[in-house]
Amino acid sequence: MDEILRAPQEEFPLHTQRKGRAPSAQGGREKAERAGERFRKLMEAGAAQGRVFRLQGIRVYHRTRSAVAGRPKMAPLPFLALTAVIGIAAVVGTMYTPAYVVTVDGVDVGLVRDQSVFRQAVERVEERASDILGYDYHLAHEVSYEMALTGQDQITPAAEFETYLFDQIGEVMKSYVLTVDGQFVGAATDRAALDGMLEQLAAPYVTENTVSVSYTKNVHITREYTPSDVQQDTAAMLAMLTENTNGQTTYEVQKGDTFMALAFDNDMTMAEMEELNPGVDINKLYIGQILNIKEEIPFLGVQTVDSLT
């Protein structure tokens, strides 16, 4: 470019004079016009050549960037479309999760991220049902899974699956269970029936001065699954709770006591009295002597607190 721009100054001077001859005004103007036209053309050629160089440089730059990236340069519209798809995928991945719709006998019962979650719930229900019924129990349901996209908070807890499956078992039912010191007494579908039975048990000991009523053993009523044929007769439960069992206690001999009288006063025979007190001379009792006597103890005793003036 420098050579092109410098060329007109050497080859096409605007004002030249030859010795021995004066240039005419007309000839000078024509030469000047011709020189100017040639100079303009050379400048235009130089500018065009500069544009060619710039375009070639741009092409080389893009080819270099594409080679470094390892793939052809993407056009703007496809690039924007791909960016939008990636953004949507990121939002969907944050708000939603792949899951399976669990269907049992044609009924949709919930959503799980992994099929093993429902299978493990089935195993736990079968194991628990076997313990309740006393024999190996296996669920017989048609289960299917279908892929779905769901919200993060829509996944079903395993406990809900277990409750649903238990409700489908005809051999068990959910009942209110009465236990005394951990021993099963009976069950009822209505808790009020058990509460009424316990009130009936305590009724003979309650007066107008009674402040509170409790029991001599731990009494609990819980909600749980039981066999469908479990004891639900509250009258039979009351008979069991009031049934007496034989136990023994101690007695300190008082003035005037005799061995025979103590036996009869406690509904015991002489043989039973002697069996409880080996080594005691039944004919010689002394005041303050400790004897063992039989005592009838109800299965469930009642304790009351009364307010007295």
Segments making up each domain of the chain, as ranges = 1-13+25-70, 96-169, 174-242, 244-299
More confident residue, 205 or 27: 205
More confident residue, 154 or 79: 154
Do the beta carbons of residue 211 and residue 307 sit within 8 Å?
A: yes
Look at domain 244-299 and name its CATH class. alpha beta
Measured between alpha carbons, how far is 154 from 162 in angstroms, rounded to an integer? 17
pLDDT at residue 44 greater than cutoff 80:
no
Look at strands 210-215 and 290-298 and give their pairing: unpaired
**Residue 29: CB atoms within 10 Å:** 10
- Helices marked H in 168-309 — which ranges? 191-202, 234-242, 259-265, 270-276
Q: Which residues pair with residue 245 across a beta bridge?
A: 297
Measured between alpha carbons, how far is 292 from 274 in angstroms, rounded to an integer? 9
**Nearest Cα residue to 146 out of 95, 112, 96, 97:** 112
Range of weakest confidence among 158-167, 269-278, 291-300: 291-300
Mean pLDDT of the 2-15 span: 40
Mean pLDDT of the 213-232 span: 90
Mean pLDDT of the 207-233 span: 90
Q: How confident is the model at residue 46 (pLDDT cuts 50, 70, 90)?
A: very low
Measured between alpha carbons, how far is 98 from 262 in angstroms, rounded to an integer? 81
Q: How confident is the model at residue 96 (pLDDT cuts 50, 70, 90)?
A: confident
What's the confidence (pLDDT) of residue 90?
53
Q: How confident is the model at residue 82 (pLDDT cuts 50, 70, 90)?
A: low
- Helices marked H in 102-258 — which ranges? 115-133, 158-167, 191-202, 234-242
Helix, strand or coil, per DSSP, at residue 88: helix
What's the confidence (pLDDT) of residue 160?
93
Q: How confident is the model at residue 110 (pLDDT cuts 50, 70, 90)?
A: very high
Query: At 5, which helix (H) or strand (E)?
Result: helix 2-11
Measured between alpha carbons, how far is 136 from 143 in angstroms, rounded to an integer? 20
Average pLDDT, the chain: 78
